[in-house]
Amino acid sequence: MAYPIQCQCGNVQGGIDESASINQVTRYCQDCQAFAHFLGRRHEMLDHQGGTEIVQMLPKHISFAQGTEYLACMRLTESGLLRWYANCCNTPIGGTLPSHTLSFVGVVHNCLESSTVKLDDICNSKGVNVNVKNAKGDPKPEQSGQVRTIIRNVLMILKARIDGSYKQTPFFEVDSGMLVATPKILSSQEYEDLMNSV
Ligand SMILES: [Zn+2]
Ligand SMILES: [Zn+2]
C-alpha cells in the first residue's frame, strides 16, 4: 500500500496503491465548501480562500482494510455528486459519480495527510485550480489546467469502462452496482440553510 487513508479517529483504514495515476486539484466550488460545512470541518478541509484540495484517480486504486461500516454518503441535491465520509468522526473521504460505470473518485486531502505525510509527497504533478470564481477574497487563485483535467478524467473513465476495471471500487457492490451506503440527500430546506452558511 503506497499511501494510507484513514479517518481522524482511526476506525476507517485503507490506502491507495502504488500504481495509481493521480491528479491533484484544488476546488473552490460552493458545493465543495458546503460539504465541509455539512461535516462541521471547514477549518480542517478548506484553505483560506475556501479551496478543497483533492486527488483524483480511478476508484480501483483504493481499498479499505477496516471500518467500511462507517463509510457514509451524502448528496447536496438529488442529482449531486456522491460525497463520502467516515461517520464515526466526520472525516471527508471523497467524491464519486452517481454510477459505478463512470469510474472516478476525488479523494479529499484530510484522509490522506498526517503529521508525516503531506499531499505534495503523494502527487508528483503540480495541482490545478478549479472554479476559482467562488474562491473567497482577492486576488482569486489562478484558474489553471481545467480543460486538461477534464480531458484526462474523461479518458480515464473511458479506459476503465473498456477494460472492465470500473467494476473494482470500494464504493459500489461489484455485481449489482449498488452503493455500499445509502446516501443521505438534503431536503430543500437543509440545502438552503447549508448554502447560506457557506
Ligand atoms: Zn473515524
Ligand atoms: Zn466542487
Whether residue 62 is predicted with pLDDT greater than 60 in this model: the reply is: yes
Q: Residue 80 falls within a domain, yes or no? A: yes
The more confident residue out of 174 and 28 is 28
Predicted pLDDT of residue 63? 96
Cα(114)–Cα(10) distance, rounded to whole angstroms? 12
Whether residue 1 is predicted with pLDDT greater than 70 in this model: the reply is: no
Predicted pLDDT of residue 144? 84
Q: Residue 111 falls within a domain, yes or no? A: yes
Predicted pLDDT of residue 117? 80
Q: Residue 17 falls within a domain, yes or no? A: yes
Strand partners, 170: none
Q: Residue 81 falls within a domain, yes or no? A: yes
Q: Which domain holds residue 97?
A: 3-191
CATH number for the domain harbouring residue 22:
2.170.150.70
Predicted pLDDT of residue 114? 85
Q: Residue 197 falls within a domain, yes or no? A: no
Q: What pLDDT digit, counting tens, does each position of 113-161 carry?
A: 887 888 877 776 678 999 999 999 999 999 888 888 899 999 999 999 9
Question: Rounded to the nearest whole angstrom, what is the distance from the C-alpha of residue 2 to the centroid of ligand 1?
Answer: 21
Nearby residues for ligand 2 (ion, Cβ within 5 Å)? 27, 29, 31-32
Predicted pLDDT of residue 18? 87
Find the DSSP H helices in 3-74: 30-39, 42-45
Q: Residue 48 falls within a domain, yes or no? A: yes
Q: Is the pTM of this model over 0.75?
A: yes
Question: Rounded to the nearest whole angstrom, what is the distance from the C-alpha of residue 15 to the centroid of ligand 1?
Answer: 15
Cα(147)–Cα(124) distance, rounded to whole angstroms? 19
Give the chain's domain count.
Answer: 1
